[in-house]
Chains A and B, each alone.
Chain A
């Protein structure tokens, strides 16, 4: 811990510590391959949703169900959290561990806010709208697609929280930096998927 902190303070840590070692560069590259695979995964879920979105089986339709203010709030929260994770990486590039930690904590808190809204939304649908997982093909496709994204957010929150913990006892090194960088890539990707979800699921659902 002391060596790592001393390294950062002396400025001997490279400017882009995530790319300083071959292992770090490979980790970033491999993570892009993973994100390509994630794009395929979400693509299949979007395809299923688009095919089934009008099969309401006498249950609620998208137009009856969705409330845009809630979706707008969730969208705004996730967009801000993507920006805070950009700032986290910029703080990392300045070797500023305190700022890096603060931006990561803020990112996690915003992620929790988003997840809270989604849990509230789903529970409202199930309890008051009688819109459960097995109500219709539309409801199954909806919960699978949006729920899968929500699960990604939950995983990201747990992952970044663990990295914040690791940062406090291992410091910022060429080993920990690629992990933080890759988690920020993951977080941006979650936000990119959400852009398609709020467009295709919620807004197109309102248009009909």
Chain B
């Protein structure tokens, strides 16, 4: 147990020394900018609605990628299973959403 812990300490310390608050503040600033673009696009109005919808969805997906990648550490090594779990969840969620939309648009 002790040796296991020790090696973990050494292995992990090295990787995490480089991680300061800076990159998280960068992610935060990017999130704010993406949010502002989305709100501004809607507040401005007048633009082609289809374009606005696509823009909004892209901004949301980008922000989710940023936050899950950096804040929830999915981009780090050893996160294969968590990524599979989340992709599985999003896949089923997406299927439900497509099903519901298709159902409503049917007639």
Contacts and interface: CB of A to CB of B under 8 A. Distances in A.
Contacts of A204: 53, 56
A191 B67 contact: yes
A47 B60 contact: no
A20 B28 CA distance: 29
Contacts of B63: 195
Contacts of B68: 188, 192
Interface string B55-97: 0110110011001100110000000011001101110111011
A83 B64 CA distance: 14
B104 A79 contact: no
A16 interface: yes
A14 B93 CA distance: 37
B90 A39 contact: yes
Interface residues of B, number: 49
Contact of A15 (B12, B59, B99, B101): B12
B96 to A, nearest CB: 4
A1 interface: no
B64 A72 contact: no
Contact of B88 (A36, A44, A50, A191): A36
Contacts of A208: 49
Contacts of B88: 36
Given A20-B8, A36-B89, 20 more contacts: A14-B12, A15-B9, A19-B8, A35-B85, A35-B89, A39-B90, A42-B93, A44-B96, A46-B97, A47-B93, A51-B101, A51-B104, A75-B35, A76-B32, A87-B24, A192-B64, A192-B67, A199-B56, A203-B38, A207-B56
